[in-house]
Amino acid sequence: MTELVDRKHLMTSVEMAHFVSHGSFTLEAVVPDDLNRRAQEVLDRGVQGRPYGTPVDAVFPAGSFVRQLLDLPAVAGAVQSLVGPNPVIDHHAVHIRPPRGGEAQNLHGDAILDTRTDAFDVQLMYYPREVSLEQGGTLSVPGTHLRRINQTGIGRYQNLAGQTRLTCPAGTVVLLHHGIWHGGRRNDSDRPRYMFKIRFNPTVRQLRLWNTDDIDSPEVLRKLTTTFGWTDANEGRLELVNRAKLWRVLTGDQNFDIDYYLTRETLRPQLVAPGATDVRLGASRAAAGWGS
């Protein structure tokens, strides 16, 4: 993945805004049937693990099944839009739920509490076969990715308003923010359910990596202000602040805001008022630039 993707295959600003508000981006049926058929054989055999931080090219060399998947223009464009060129592999895993098997996972966030606000990892989930509701699919709660938790800290919750169960055609790829709340479901069908997951770490600043031609579209703000059932109007304002913070990181626009919430939070005037003393500097009003 060392070559830059053609701009026409990159995500748009509206799609990026959707990712920022929802925590996911879906490419339905983007993988061709021949690659999907090959995938089942490869995943049945397993995919060898590699150490954390290994470059993609070293983990999945040219010609390998996974590299063919990642080199599909739409997939390569989405990955580059989110984490940039030359990401490294955090880890990858094959998940196969047998027919009438498995247990539903508790809601959780992957790994430990991740406090980063100026970067994020992306998890790619690939489904080579159709996933029906009966097969379970991955449950996730859109919009929760910026409400940080520590692993299974929310595991006691069984259902949240606005949660979704993934159903999709064969060859679907879903890209998730690493912080989204999710859990695998039990497979109640007579067919195995396949999913292959890769977590990418960026190696570049995640600044305007997508096609920004539509950056000023009104639809961008509409996407950023999407609401979800698990939070009410007042509580939801916290998510508007979180999204505004992330959009500032992604665009480099430090004046961007949604309804002035973030502007209030970042208000830190530095001018010292007349008659006040700057304790940090031991400064008088004269030293602060005020007249005597």
Mean confidence (pLDDT) of the chain: 91
Strand partners, 172: 127
* Residue 162, pLDDT score: 93
Q: Average of pLDDT values for 24-43?
A: 97
Q: pLDDT for 84-105, tens place per residue?
A: 999 999 999 999 999 997 788 8
Say if residue 282's pLDDT is above 60: no
Closest CA to 196 of 104, 141, 124: 124
* Residue 279, pLDDT score: 62
Q: Which pLDDT band, with edges at 50, 70 and 90, does 280 fall under?
A: low
What's this model's pTM, rounded to 2 decimal places?
A: 0.91
* Residue 292, pLDDT score: 42
Could you give the domains of the chain?
7-201 (2.60.120.620)
* Residue 153, pLDDT score: 84
Q: Which pLDDT band, with edges at 50, 70 and 90, does 158 fall under?
A: confident
Q: pLDDT for 37-91, tens place per residue?
A: 999 999 999 999 999 999 999 999 999 999 999 999 999 999 999 999 999 999 9
What sign has the CA pseudo-torsion 51, 27, 25, 113? negative
Q: pLDDT for 176-210, tens place per residue?
A: 999 999 998 899 999 999 999 999 999 999 999 99
Supply the Cα-derived Rg of the chain in whole angstroms. 22
Q: How deeply is 107 buried, as exposed, middle or buried, from its count of CB atoms within 10 A (0-12, 13-18, 19+)? A: buried
Cα–Cα distance measured from residue 34 to residue 194, given in angstroms and rounded to the nearest whole number: 16
Q: Average of pLDDT values for 139-167?
A: 90
